[in-house]
Structure 1
Amino acid sequence: MAGRLVVVDDTEDLLFLIEEALVRDGYEVRTAGDGAKALELIRQDPPDAVILDLWMPEMDGFEVVRQLKDDPLLQHLPVLIMSAAGTQDNKIHGLDLGADDFVTKPFDMPELVARVRMVLRRTKISLDANPLTHLPGNTTIQSRVEKGLRRGGPLAVLYCDLNDFKAYNDAYGYAAGDHALKETARVILEAVKAAGAAHEDFVGHVGGDDFIVVTVPGRMEALAVDVCARFDAAAPSLYKDEDRTRGRLLSKDRKGNAVEFPLMTIAVGVCHNSLKPLSGYSEVSALGSELKKAAKTKPGSAYFIDRRT
């Protein structure tokens, strides 16, 4: 399969022709006739890209793009805008909002398909993203930390890791485990956004249940506190009623014996350069791992900040 797309246009005949051309090229396509329905489809099951008509009743394409780019879990989605009103101002406004390409109607269908391929290829190359959460992965994380170290200014790195995630994943299955990881990503992103520095701080997904936040010492402790509080508020909804009521996960080991595990919590280790310099990414990584382990020795969701000089 070439990719998964959502195509949005209020003209049914054109929507059918676009869908037919893209399916023929190997894409899985879902369609919507208006912006509100498109957002519903996208949020239910995010696609690889969105092809969006500009002028539609009730909610135009500009507003759809704006809402997508304001959503931390959807802002990575590439968007291709189609419009019969391909004025310079419309193109500039769409691109400024975060659209990746702009096609003027009428267009040749092979051109549209080629542009979709180009947008997806460019996005894949430019985004070192975790396939589940779409957060930047290890290469981008290392690059972002090293960039902060080279600048020489204040730097803090939060290493976040879930406690008892394996037990949850084993008991509830991989689909539930994936949902828990997406929820963790949302919790961390919302904490960063609430701190008022979403455009300055950085959130990455190392892999599995490990996440990273790059910030500054002035925000590090408040962020760690907020991440713990938000995770504790969200975690109970991930469990069945009986486990939630019990306050523990009841499962079985490989021999069929009944075993209990605590509900998931989050551990946050925080290293920074306000008390002593950080020499490089390997030191940051090693310190983060050490501090995260220290946070795990505390009960419940907890953080541990390196206060050594």
Structure 2
Amino acid sequence: MNKKSILIVDDNRLSRTVLRDILIDAGYNIYEAQNGEEALKIYKSNYPDMVILDVVMPGLSGFDLLKILRDDEENLLVPVILLTSKNDFEEKLRGLELGADAYITKPFNEKELLIQVKNLFQRIEHNRMANPLTGLRGNIDIKYEIRRRIKSGNLYAVLYIDLDHFKSYNDYYGFSRGDKVIKQTSRILTDALDKCGNTKDFLGHIGGDDFIIVTTPDKIDVMCNYIIKKFDEDIKRLYDDDDMARGYIEILNRRGEVQRFPLISISIAVITNEHRKFENELEISEVAAEIKRKLKSMNGSKYLKDRRKD
């Protein structure tokens, strides 16, 4: 998976350098800002996974920046650690009231810093209601991620991914083997991001056999083709040999009639802001629903991009 990124905001160059070296050695990607104004620009362009923020800075103070971040709903889940050279209880209370997650007093201990960062990431991930089956981020993060992309004004692509004939597989083989299909799909999508995507691409699990990827338009073709090829190869291993040889499974319906269902395939509905503007995530999901209905009328694994203009 992609490395976690941390934005360090401190007007003291030496302090930034020490923090940067420690965190890079620990495997994190680092952004740096020397004041609050610069930090806001970097934040809106890169959306780091954590902010380490000095309290006392000229101009926009650490408290001012923290309040700006927390006033925006999309930033509520981003962990913030405050740094200060003072050991002031009232100052600490103010920071916590504004929404800071942790507080470290300078000069800081390297081991303490790394433990704070690691524990905070673990706690935030646990509280984000990740899907229990796949461990992928759930609907709260999905909503925030799409809102962020819309607000950024940059080009983005949203891939809505679901499985065809998964219910018949579940009914035929049982939920335990159905869960294996979901986990395998999760691994394929994770690999697709690592091999074909950008550093800040997003993967979420809506629920059941529905997933979502947020990437950029230039990655659509290579990513979708990778997912389809890998899925069609791997799904064969999750069928019994006899069913695989036939190329379908047979299930009795409620009327006692035998119905044939083809092997599970994967469908990807692609929506971008290249030719049309979206105001919120609901507008995107409505277009995705239209594309998914068209995909359901097509056989096999496939992807379809919405090319309509405003």
TM-score range, shorter chain: 0.5 to 0.7
Q: Deviations over 1:74-126 (max 9, x none)?
A: x9xxxxxxxxxxxxxxx96885379xxxxx9xxxxxxxxxxxx999755422x
SS at match of 2:275: coil
Q: Which amino acid aligns with 1:176?
A: R
CA distance in structure 2 between the partners assigned to 1:257 and 1:210 by the alignment:
29
1:282 aligns with 2:282: yes
Q: Does 1:224 align with 2:224?
A: yes
Distance 2:272 2:125 in 1: 32
Question: Structure 2 counterpart of 1:178, which letter?
Answer: D
Q: 1:284 to 1:93 in 2, by over 3 A?
A: closer
1:121–1:152: structure 2 CA closer, same or farther, 3 Å change rule?
closer
Task: Decide whether aligned partners of structure 1 residues 118 and 138 sit closer, same or farther in structure 2, where only a CA change above 3 A counts.
Answer: closer
Shift of 1:266: 0.7
- Residue among 106, 123, 126 paired with 1:124: 126
Q: What is the correspondence of 1:52-63 to structure 2 with a 5 Å cutoff?
A: none
Aligned residue type for 2:27: D
Measured in 2, the distance between the counterparts of 1:264 and 1:293 equals: 17
State the secondary structure of the residue aligned to 1:154. coil
Q: When the two structures are superposed, what TM-score results if normalisation uses the length of structure 2?
A: 0.61
Q: Which residue of 2 aligns with 1:96?
A: 27
Deviation at residue 289 of structure 1 after TM alignment: 1.6
Contact residue 269 and residue 293 of structure 1 kept, 8 A: no
CA distance in 1, matches of 2:217, 2:172: 38
CA distance in 1, matches of 2:124, 2:202: 22
Question: What residue is the counterpart of 2:295 in the other structure?
Answer: 295
> Which residue identity does 1:124 align to in structure 2?
H
**Secondary structure in structure 2 of the residue aligned to 1:203:** strand
Query: Residue type matched to 1:190 in 2?
Result: D
Provide the secondary structure at the position in 1 that maps to 2:222: helix
- State whether structure 2 residue 153 is matched by structure 1 residue 140: no
Distance in 1 (alpha carbons) for counterparts of 2:195 and 2:124: 31
Determine if contact 2:169/2:264 at 8 Å carries over to the other structure: yes
Partners of 1:278 and 1:97 lie apart in 2 by 33
Task: Work out whether residues 296 and 302 of structure 1, in 8 Å CA contact, stay in contact via their aligned partners in 2.
Answer: no
Amino acid paired to 2:138:
G
Q: Which one-letter code corresponds to 1:171 in the other structure?
A: Y
Taking a change above 3 Å as real, the CA distance of residues 138 and 275 of structure 1, as seen in their structure-2 partners, is same
Summarize the alignment of residues 1-309 of structure 1 with structure 2, pairs less than 5 Å apart. 95-96=26-27, 123-125=125-127, 127-197=128-198, 199-254=199-254, 256-309=256-309
User: Which secondary structure does the structure 2 equivalent of 1:250 belong to?
Assistant: strand
Alignment coverage as a number of residue pairs? 211
1:14 aligned partner: none
Distance 1:118 1:307 in 2: 41
Give 5+ residue unaligned stretches, structure 1.
1-68, 76-90, 99-103, 105-116
Q: How far 1:196 moved relative to its partner?
A: 4.3
Output the TM-score relative to the length of structure 1. Answer: 0.61
User: Aligned AA for 2:228?
Assistant: C
Counterpart of 2:45 in structure 1 is none
Give 1:203 deviation, angstroms: 0.7
Q: In structure 2, what is the equivalent of residue 7 of structure 1?
A: none
Deviations 1:36-70 (A, max 9, x none): xxxxxxxxxxxxxxxxxxxxxxxxxxxxxxxxx68
- Report if aligned partners of 1:205, 1:212 keep a CA contact under 8 Å in 2: yes
For residues 211 and 237 of structure 2, the distance between their equivalents in structure 1, rounded to whole angstroms, comes to 21
Equivalent residue letter for 1:139: I
Structure 2 unmatched ranges of 5 or more: 5-21, 30-110, 112-118
Runs of 4+ in 1 over 6 A off after TM superposition: 91-94, 117-120
1:284 positional shift: 0.8
Moved more, 131-140 or 254-263: 254-263
Asked if the contact 2:197–2:219 (Cα under 8 Å) also holds between the matched residues in 1, the reply is: no
Instruction: Let me know the Cα RMSD of the aligned residues.
Output: 3.1
